[in-house]
């Protein structure tokens, strides 16, 4: 199945304990597509400025990412800067320059309107609705959002939630959207808003899936070295959605397996700045790390 992602392509300036990069390739659609394309044909809809480096477009195309939906317009590309604390407990945003992204109006190319799997990355929920009005009959739609939209565009967000199959959020976003401070209760309340399933991304604490029955918890990969967590959530989403598209099924079993695929992909993303590590990853790498992850999960069957 073909995957369509609508989101941002950007340049990030990031500081962590490991060093600093400036104007490095980033954006939700960038991280997502590099991860998703490991499993399935992936097409990007985004906007970039005339300052966007041709070599960065080449980096995506060489990995098989489709860029027919990328609009290049006059002006500067979306830029973001952030600084992480020593142990990544906090992140300080140093600047956000929307630039051409502030006027982004997603236009889905005609030949992509029949995309079977759609991921609506973190953009205004009104624009997410516009995307859904352009695609014909997707078999699976997943959505990402953030507190900014929960607080400032809640009506639009609630409208789009009625039209999607799955929502991906982190702890803080789940609490803000649901109005409760317990993850299980928060997920139950969100499901009542429309999506059939909710994934709560918890960083180094793994991820939780709420769909049929009891929640499924997948631990994060235990890593010796984390350099930059920027884009890890979008990379997780790409591995998750790409796996579903390759499987061609969206039942409970596939959702649980997709959780593992997303977790594995994200574990590579954080090992270097920008997409420098992610763009080197192969399916064989994921298989190797899957064996490592399986070895660290203790058998929970206990004779009490």
For 211-269, how does the pLDDT look when each residue is reduced to its tens digit (9 = 90+)? 977 789 999 999 999 999 999 999 999 999 999 999 999 999 999 999 999 999 999 99
Give the per-residue pLDDT at 78.
97
Packing angle between helix 171-178 and helix 183-191, nearest 10 degrees?
60
CA–CA separation, 268 vs 139, rounded Å?
29
Of residues 297 and 242, the one with the higher pLDDT is 242
Three-state SS string over the chain comes to CCEEEECCCEEEEEEECCEEEEEEEECHHHHHHHHHCCCCCEEEEEEEECCCCHHHHHHHHCCCCEEEEEEEECCCCCEEEEEECCCCCCEEEEEEECHHHHHCCCCCCHHHCCCCEEEECCCCHHHHHHHHHHCCCCCEEEEECCHHHHHHCHHHHHHHHCCCCEEEEEHHHHHHHHCCCCHHHHHHHHHCCCCCEEEEECHHHCEEEECCCCCEEECCCCCCCCCCCCCHHHHHHHHHHHHHHHHCCCCHHHHHHHHHHHHHHHHHHCCCCCCCCHHHCCHHHHHHHHHHHHHHCCCCCCCC
CA–CA separation, 29 vs 54, rounded Å?
17
Give the per-residue pLDDT at 297.
72
The arithmetic mean of pLDDT across residues 11-19, rounded, is: 98
Lookup result for tokens 């590309």: 77
* Backbone angles phi and psi of 248, in degrees to 5: 70, 20
For residue 141, the number of C-alpha atoms closer than 13 Å in the C-beta half-sphere is 20
Give me the architecture of the 3-294 domain, per CATH: 3-Layer(aba) Sandwich (3.40)
CA–CA separation, 92 vs 94, rounded Å?
6
Give the per-residue pLDDT at 298.
58
Cα torsion 60, 61, 65, 68 to 10°: value is 110
Q: Where does the pLDDT of residue 294 fall: very low under 50, low under 70, confident under 90, or very high at 90 and above?
A: confident
CA–CA separation, 66 vs 45, rounded Å?
9
Q: Where does the pLDDT of residue 303 fall: very low under 50, low under 70, confident under 90, or very high at 90 and above?
A: low
Indicate the average pLDDT of the chain.
95
Give the per-residue pLDDT at 301.
52
Give the per-residue pLDDT at 304.
55
Q: 3-6 and 42-49: which strand pairing? A: parallel
The yes-or-no verdict on residue 302 having pLDDT over 60 is no
Give domain limits for the chain.
3-294
Give the per-residue pLDDT at 293.
86
């Amino acid at each position: 199945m073909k995957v369509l992602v609508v989101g941002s392509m950007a340049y990030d300036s990031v500081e962590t304990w490991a060093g600093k990069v400036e104007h490095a390739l980033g954006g939700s659609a960038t991280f997502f597509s590099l991860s998703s394309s490991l499993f399935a044909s992936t097409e990007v809809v985004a906007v970039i400025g005339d300052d966007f480096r041709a070599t960065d477009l080449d980096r995506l195309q060489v990995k098989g990412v489709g860029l027919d939906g990328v609009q290049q317009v006059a002006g500067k590309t979306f830029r973001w800067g952030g600084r992480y604390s020593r142990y990544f407990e906090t992140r300080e945003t140093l600047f956000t320059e929307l630039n051409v992204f502030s006027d982004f109006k997603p236009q889905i190319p005609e030949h992509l309107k029949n995309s079977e799997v759609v991921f609506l990355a973190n953009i205004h929920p009104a624009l997410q609705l516009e995307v859904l009005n352009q695609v014909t009959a997707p078999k699976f739609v997943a959505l990402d959002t953030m507190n900014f939209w929960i607080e400032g565009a809640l009506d639009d967000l609630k409208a789009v939630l009625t039209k999607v199959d799955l929502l991906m959020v982190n702890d803080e976003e789940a609490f803000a959207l649901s109005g409760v401070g317990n993850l299980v209760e928060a997920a139950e309340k969100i499901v009542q808003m429309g999506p059939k399933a909710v994934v709560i991304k918890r960083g180094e604490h793994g991820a939780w899936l709420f769909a049929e029955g009891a929640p499924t918890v997948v631990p994060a990969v235990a890593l010796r070295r984390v350099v930059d967590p920027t884009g890890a959530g979008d990379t997780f989403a790409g591995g998750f959605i790409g796996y579903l598209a390759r499987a061609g099924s969206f039942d409970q079993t596939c959702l649980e397996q997709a959780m593992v695929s997303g977790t594995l992909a994200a574990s590579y993303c954080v090992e270097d700045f920008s997409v420098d590590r992610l763009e080197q990853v192969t399916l064989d790498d994921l298989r190797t790390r899957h064996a490592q992850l399986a070895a660290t999960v203790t058998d929970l069957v206990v004779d009490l």
